[in-house]
Amino acid sequence: MTPEEIIQRTAEYVKGEFARDSSGHDWWHIVRVWKTALALCKYENADVYTVELAALLHDLDDWKLVPSPPAHLPPSGGLPVGDGRPARAEAWLRQMDIDPALAEHVCEIIIGLSFKGAQVETPMRTIEGQIVQDADRLDAIGAIGIARAFAYGGHKGHLLYEPASPPQMHASFEQYKNSGSATINHFYEKLLLLKDRMNTPTAKKIAAQRHAHMELFLEQFMREWEGGEF
């Protein structure tokens, strides 16, 4: 198959897997990440095929959606072995007969992609990884990010807001993963931090605008939460 045919087949497969998701990690989230990543490629010297595969497959093994958590990348970069490998993405890449080196790169991106705590660094070794990470994080902020935060909170049964439980700046992935704090806390524990963690110049510009929108939302939320003012 040609790369174009593989991308089409991959998109069809992923759409089938996520079409009914209600956690904010649905097919249309993946489409937005895919489109944003392709747009960022126009400004960076990156391998578009790698970016497309990683963007399409990035949530197949997301720890928030599947039981087994991802492994941390070793300090020197590269893909760890054993537990934490993105098993579903790997299986699909093998089925598509993707070159092993390319498949390894895509899996490395998937493993390192997600936010793992306020005090946990998640650097990307390659520009392809940086682009997909930026695209995924851009979809977590702004108007869409606000909607997705509450969709996920409802999906997990989290409280809307609990004033007596302040946000926590998690020092480890385990702390972050096991946190069940209110959805409003999630803005302070993750979403408001993403603006300063973008990799590419273009993503940084977009993130600044979306970040400002979230700040306005939180100000209005707190005014309305107090009530009694008309």
Cα dist from 104 to 36, 54, 79, 80, 108, whole Å = 23, 11, 7, 10, 6
- Is the Cβ–Cβ distance between 184 and 164 less than 8 Å? no
Residue 200: pLDDT band (50, 70, 90) is very high
Q: Which CATH class is domain 3-226?
A: mainly alpha
pLDDT for residue 115: 82
User: Quick check: 167 pLDDT over 90?
Assistant: no
pLDDT for residue 120: 78
Mean pLDDT, rounded, for 190-206: 96
User: Quick check: 70 pLDDT over 60?
Assistant: no
Between residues 160 and 228, the one the model is more confident about: 160
Q: Indicate the pTM of the whole model.
A: 0.89
Residue 56: pLDDT band (50, 70, 90) is very high
Angle at 199 between CA 110 and CA 40, to 5 degrees: 80
DSSP state of 79: -
In angstroms, rounded to a whole number, what is the distance separating the alpha carbons of residues 116 and 23? 18
Q: Which two tokens stand for residue 61?
A: 């093994």
pLDDT for residue 83: 47
Summary count for the chain: helices (H), strands (E): 10, 0
Residue 63: pLDDT band (50, 70, 90) is confident
Between residues 211 and 115, the one the model is more confident about: 211
pLDDT for residue 75: 38
User: Quick check: 67 pLDDT over 60?
Assistant: no
